[in-house]
Amino acid sequence: MTNLDLYAKSEHLLGIEEATEALYDLYRSELDEYKVKTLLDVGCGRGGFMQRLISDGVTCKGIDLSSVMVDECKERGLDAECIDISEAKGSYDAVVAIFDVLNFLNQDELIKFLDVVAQKLNDNGVFIADINTLYGFSDVAEGTMSSENDKEFLIVDAVFENDELHTKFTLFQKSDDSKYIKYQDTIVQYFHKIRVFEKHSSLKLIDKQTFSLYDTKDKTLLIFKKRVD
């Protein structure tokens, strides 16, 4: 099991449903002003956002590095693959990366990712993503939490230092014979300064909005257009 698959197995215990729905609403409202007919959802998760856009008449493709997430998308009848964005075929009117996707990339990976996004966009295409602010990492994400139900117990311990958030997930799941199976892994997220995005050669940052998802000004929404020579 990869660390992203462990996150997928733990997600329902994190209490993020309300935050996820709020982000979906924000992205959907931003996309309203663009004539988007095709969309690539990078880090599509269980496909909730694609389902919303499909109901708006948009043709959606989802990719995610968690096979657990992709399998759930397919069970819902959605077009999803467990591949990296560099392997995705076709071009799109819009690309989205919802809920910290960019924070899972270090700076070198981020630059390469943005280059590939530009390649996947049609002319005048739009890319929308959100990132954690420094406050979001140091004052909101850092710390320890636990959650449980009748069959599972989750402990999350997050430490932020040197612009990196290291989050250890420890999940205990009760098996059919009432014994507990332990899963443990660490996910690393990276803080990115806005100037990294402002300097990008293939995408032009046309808008940025700092907003509150869990706490005061813990997230920034970034909106890019493809640079056309």
- What is the separation of C-alpha 70 from the centre of its chain, rounded to a whole number of angstroms? 14
Q: Are residues 96 and 67 in the same domain?
A: yes
Residue 82 sits at the vertex; the CA angle it makes with 126 and 189, to the nearest 5 degrees, is 70
The answer to whether residues 75 and 129 belong to one domain is yes
Percent of the chain at pLDDT exceeding 90:
93
Rounded CA gap, 76 and 164, in Å?
Answer: 35
State both tokens at 212: 């509150």
Together in a domain, 118 and 146:
no
Q: Is the pLDDT of residue 1 over 70?
A: no
Give the model confidence (pLDDT) of 181-205 as tens digits.
999 999 999 999 999 999 999 999 9
CATH no. for residue 15?
Answer: 3.40.50.150
Domain ranges, residue 211: 3-133+193-226
What is the CATH classification number for the domain harbouring 185?
2.20.25.110
pLDDT of residue 3 exceeding 90, the answer is no
Examine the pLDDT at 23 and tell me if it is beyond 80: yes
Report residue 146 as tokens. Answer: 């636990």
Place of tokens 């309300």: 18
pLDDT band at 176 (very low <50, low <70, confident <90, very high): confident
117 and 146 co-located in one domain: no
Query: Is residue 218 a contact partner of residue 135, using CB atoms and an 8 Å limit?
Result: yes
The predicted-structure confidence for 40-73, as pLDDT tens digits, reads as follows 999 999 999 999 999 999 999 999 999 999 999 9
For residues 216 and 118, membership in a common domain is answered with: yes
**Can you state the angle between helices 67-75 and 3-10, rounded to 10 degrees?**
50
Report how far residue 207's alpha carbon sits from residue 51's, in angstroms, rounded to the nearest whole number. 26
20: its two tokens: 């996820």
Burial readout 41-56 (b: 16 or more C-beta within 10 A, e: otherwise): bbbbbbbbbbebbbee
148 and 104 inside one domain: no
Residue 226: pLDDT band with limits 50, 70, 90 = very high
pLDDT at 135 over 90: yes
At 89-134, the pLDDT tens digits run: 999 999 999 999 999 999 999 999 999 999 999 999 999 999 999 9
Tokens standing for residue 148: 């449980």
How much is the pLDDT for 216?
84
Average pLDDT over residues 32-47: 96
Same domain for 39 and 99, yes or no, is: yes
Q: Are residues 31 and 114 in the same domain?
A: yes
Residue 52: what pLDDT? Answer: 96
Separation of alpha carbons 220 and 218, rounded Å = 7
Rounded mean pLDDT, 150-165: 97
127 and 180 housed in the same domain: no
Is a pLDDT exceeding 80 seen at residue 13?
yes
Examine the domain organization and report whether 219 and 155 are in the same domain: no
Q: Distance (Å, rounded) from C-alpha 95 to C-alpha 46?
A: 17
Number of domains in the chain: 2
The mean pLDDT value of the chain amounts to: 95
In terms of domains, do 108 and 13 share one?
yes
In this structure, the answer to whether residues 37 and 125 fall within a common structural domain is: yes
| Predicted local confidence at residue 178, as pLDDT | 86
Q: Taking the CA of residue 61 as centre, how many other CA atoms within 13 Å lie in the half-sphere pointing to its CB?
A: 19
